[in-house]
Structure 1
């Protein structure tokens, strides 16, 4: 998706920074951008799918908390091989910034395998795919940060 109203993509040496307004087209474009950027960086398909899933969950949470058309800043960064653990795992950092500092993600009692749950699986999914994710307040909102590791 080229630069357009509510979409400003800046490539970085290890990924990208994307300023976007949360719309269905922009969220689809974000998933496509993740796939292309990570494939170009040599990231495996399973890890790229996990990154897409995590970013989709973070964007969905931001929209539920802040409303449609919320301005977001999404960052995806492939971890340098020099930063990797001694096991040599490949990893990607995902960050999503929204403007509401006081609306924080709240873990509920829903389990991923609860057949009765109609919602609430997103944060348990985050715990599974990006253990140790955290929320950091910023001067203009908050940023959810996580590291997603692959095999």
Structure 2
């Protein structure tokens, strides 16, 4: 079985809300940062690594508040590869405590018109290396 990619994502002071927790909208930014780290690593050998992708869907479950301080360690893996999209899953831990589970459906788009495009063979190979069945290995 493949291990997920682990990204350490720092929490900024400005991410907090009035309750001293990371604001729920900022958690999506933490996922984005983990996804960008994963993409730079996972797609490094793909010719069109700069090809645009968009988030078509986001599902996020909070397991406990994220607080300013230790980074959030976010595991990222692929759970599904379709013809024009793939699904990434995320599991986050802060200071040894599970804080989030999430998934995003990613769609590669053509730069000329923003329309969805078919995943290329090199992309499929790279995605396959990060494939883990939908249920995540727990951190």
Larger proportion of helix = 1
TM-score, length-normalised on structure 1? 0.29
Larger proportion of strand = 2
Higher RCO, Cα 8 Å, sep 6+: 2
